[in-house]
Amino acid sequence: MKYLQAQRTVASLADDAPASTVLLATSFQSENLDLYLQARHALAGHRLTVQHLPFNTLAQQSYTAASLDEVWLMLPWDWLPETDWRTGLPAQPLDLADLEARLAAQEQRLQQRGMPILYLDAPMPPVMANQALQAQLAHRLREAAYRAGARLLDGEAFELPSYLNTGVAIAGRSADAVAEALYELRYPSPKVPRKVLVTDLDQVMWRGIIGEDGLEGIQYRPEGAGYPHFLYQQALQRLKHGGTLIAAVSRNDADLARAPFEAGNMTLNDADLVAILGSYQPKSAQIRHLLEQLDLGLDAVVFVDDNPVELSEVSTALPEVQCLQFPESVAAFPDFLARLLAHFEQDTTSQEDRQRTELYRTRLKGMAPVNAEGADLTAFLSSLEMQLTWHDRSETQRDRALQLINKTNQFNLNGKRWTDDELDLVLGQGGRLYSASLADAHGAHGEIMACLIDVEGCIRAWVMSCRVLQRQVEAAFLHVLTEQPIASETLVFDRVNTERNRPLQDFLDTLALDHNRIKRDRLAQQTQAARALFTLRNATETSPT
């Protein structure tokens, strides 16, 4: 999570969110972790106040009575002050045997206090007589940390120049990773294993978007960009053999979501999943419905998605569900996999465990479609603080809009692909090409919608990226469209129902169209409520309205 995203996440908390205070106990300046730590708590719906110790007083703190809400972030010199870069090198090399009694006493003291500790294995100055002894000391300190119950973090987050000059030990670019580790120390994975893993499909089960890239375009094999997804499927297969139920939820048509499993080329196949749900309803509604059918509690579920908005929607509507973000970078994948598997750890596997998926699949036969009223979507959308930026691309910068029109399948007015020449013709006759970008409390989504309207008010092309379905952005866009300088008082949708554009069809069916025509003022009236969910910014203006 980046700095501004963390700020927006904290700002989006409801006023009545439950609040707590934690003492972040460090011997260095650690205020730069506060925002990220608060954002991690905000993602779980909690407001956090962070307190700090006066600089360099951690050692004294270890002699006081433990507070219930404190978390320690320790460096090597919090065990042995002689190893602190800021105090300089000792006149004589240290002797580990001389230090042993002090280390053992501190281990015992910290064990008795029992607070969560994160130990940052930062590099130490050369305090021992040679490199072998120096390595032995580092090893001994890690051992001490483990004995005190600490979780270890590698030393990359430590920033020596900053520490020497300002006392800030954690680099800004590592602050979020450290905050995440601290959050997990406060809220460790429960000991009772979860029973159901609900997973997103696009960009998680495979690389790519099945609705746009097709069966041939998605990647899930052990090569290139497909590797993390191949490993993820292997992990899920292992969980399934251990008795975990695997289910998929996706904002796709059900048959499209199911197709890669039925094709039989992936590690996981149709029979490995207890259910594959494809629907355009909120994922929280899909998960709730699934769990009702399985007759299991929501606290049995781990939900994995790559999209922070989806994760936020589910964690807001279903706080019992443990949400995990599928990482954007491969570097973060090992840690993600370890945390995922930790939620399902169990000592033994029975024959019934191995057959559990089959048993539940039988139970789910005849499962009803997901109820559209599963979550309070409007309240959730309001909390996203969505900002729509309107672009007139008729004259310049039309590449992204044209690309969107020619790539999008699901929310596409008619499926027609356009060439530059065809576009020139419509625009040359007085038509307009509009697009819109979306941003929200979680960050920017880029240019996600494009619309070509000809001089007679006929909407010839209209598409929206499936990444932003279920936000009412399409209705808000139409509202803004009615305010544009278009000669015709009636708008006509050049609609063609295709095999793929069910989301578009569903939306147009909610408008009172008369043979795909509607008066502009009537359309404005019907889309007014959606428009109110957005702050509008015209790309040529500076202040939002």
Partner 1 sequence: MEASLRDDIDAILSSIIKLETAEGVHRSQCATWDSMAQVALVSALEGEFDLALSLDDAMQLNTLDDCVELVNRYL
What residues line the site for partner 1 (CB under 8 A)?
Answer: 2-4, 6-7, 29, 31-32, 36, 159, 161-162, 165-166, 168, 171-173, 175-176
> Least distance (Å) from partner 1 to the CB of residue 532?
25
Distance CA 405, CA 416 (A): 8
Name the residue among 447, 483, 440 with its Cα closest to residue 464: 447
Scanning the structure block, which residue is given the tokens 């300046």?
A: 29
Burial 136-151 (b: 16+ CB within 10 A, else e): ebbebbbebbeebbbe
Q: How far is the CB of 362 from partner 1 (least distance, A)?
A: 49
As measured in angstroms, the least distance from the Cβ of 299 to partner 1 is 33
Nearer to partner 1 among residue 176 and residue 202 (C-beta): 176
Least separation in angstroms between residue 310's CB and partner 1 is 23
Give 3 or 418: the residue with its C-beta nearer to partner 1.
3
Query: In whole angstroms, how close is the CB of 467 to partner 1 at the nearest point?
Result: 19
Helices (H), 187-226: 210-217
Mark 36-51 as b/e (b = at least 16 C-beta within 10 Å): bbbbbbbbbebbbebe
Edge-to-edge strands, sheet with 196-199: 275-278, 245-250, 196-199, 301-305, 322-325
Q: Which is nearer to partner 1, 525 or 535 (CB)?
A: 535
Category of 161 on φ-ψ map: left (φ > 0), alpha (ψ -120 to 50) or beta:
alpha
How many CB atoms are closer than 10 A to CB 327? Answer: 15
Q: Which is nearer to partner 1, 112 or 397 (CB)?
A: 397
- Give whichever of 43 and 461 is closer to partner 1, judged by the CB atom: 43
Q: Which two tokens stand for residue 169?
A: 């030990």
- Amino acid symbol at 306: D
Choose among 145, 148, 175: nearest CA to 75. Answer: 145
By C-beta, is 8 or 356 nearer to partner 1? 8
If you write DSSP's letter for every residue of 246-303 in order, what string do you get?
A: EEEEESS-HHHHHHHHHHT-SSS-GGG-SEEEE-SS-HHHHHHHHHHHHT--GGGEEE
CB of 232 to partner 1, least distance (A): 25
CB 133 to partner 1: min, Å = 31
Nearer to partner 1, 175 or 438 (CB): 175
Looking at the Cβ atoms of 31 and 262, the one nearer to partner 1 is 31
Question: CB of residue 385 vs partner 1: minimum separation in angstroms?
Answer: 14
